[in-house]
Amino acid sequence: KTGIIYDTVRSYFGMRKISISDLKSSYNKQILLNNNLIYQKLFLVQGYWPGGLYTAPSEEDIIKDIQFIKDFGFNGLRTHQKAFDPRFLYWCDRMGVLVWGEIGNSFVFTIDSQVRLLNEFITEIERDYNHPSIIIWVPINESWGVRSRSRRDSKRAFYTLSLYYLIKSIDPTRLVIDDDGWWHTETDICSRHFYSDIKLISKSTYFAVNYWFLFIFKWF
């Protein structure tokens, strides 16, 4: 009534669609951004900072890191083993960088570790749901926390499978990779991590692979 502004809140929003092409042959399916084919050239970001470890010294340092990734020709990044600073995701939104969202994994498979991952990742998804830069959720990396000497360990397999469907039920707008790079149960992207010279991997490894997408890390 007095005409005096006591407080101001500014925000923003973004709209985008991430999907998989609806083709009859699964061999030809592609990832689409706003119904257009998008080839992801991603940078793995560990999120370490000089003088701050897991905390960026300043917002300017965050911007420099993201710009560095773009200057080298990458169009996206995979956050690794932690929930990233919302300021980082904000600048990914603003600068047009695609993001794979991830959470820290445990070392051992216990009831407590299962519950903690569920609670922490659900909290992260709820917090970061409105960042349009995030296009994929990754709950587990390389079977960390669910690894077993036996490939027939049903408990770990059921847990990994449940993560995929739980995340889909919470956020059906994004793709989900259940166990990035390792033993998949149900996944939108078949990813494989190979820490060796790519020339040493037999071509027969990929012969008639019935998956939508293949992502390969090369260890330099």
CA proximity to 216, closest of 198, 184, 192, 180: 192
The fold of 18-217 is TIM Barrel (3.20.20)
Q: What is the pLDDT of residue 203?
A: 53
Output the six-digit token pair for 52. Answer: 């701050």
By C-alpha distance, which of 97, 101, 105 is closest to 175? Answer: 101
What does the alpha-carbon distance between residue 31 and residue 39 come to, in Å, rounded to a whole number? Answer: 8
Position 108 scores a pLDDT of 87
Give the Cα separation of 132 and 123 in Å (integer): 17
Maximum separation of any 2 CA atoms in the chain, in Å: 76
Residues 128 and 58: their CA atoms lie apart, in Å, by 20
Q: What tens-digit pLDDT sequence spans the chain (220 residues)?
A: 688 888 999 999 999 999 998 766 555 778 999 999 999 999 999 888 887 788 999 999 999 999 999 999 999 999 999 899 999 999 999 999 999 999 988 888 989 999 999 999 999 999 999 999 999 999 999 888 887 755 567 888 898 899 999 999 999 999 999 998 878 889 998 887 766 655 555 555 554 444 444 444 333 3
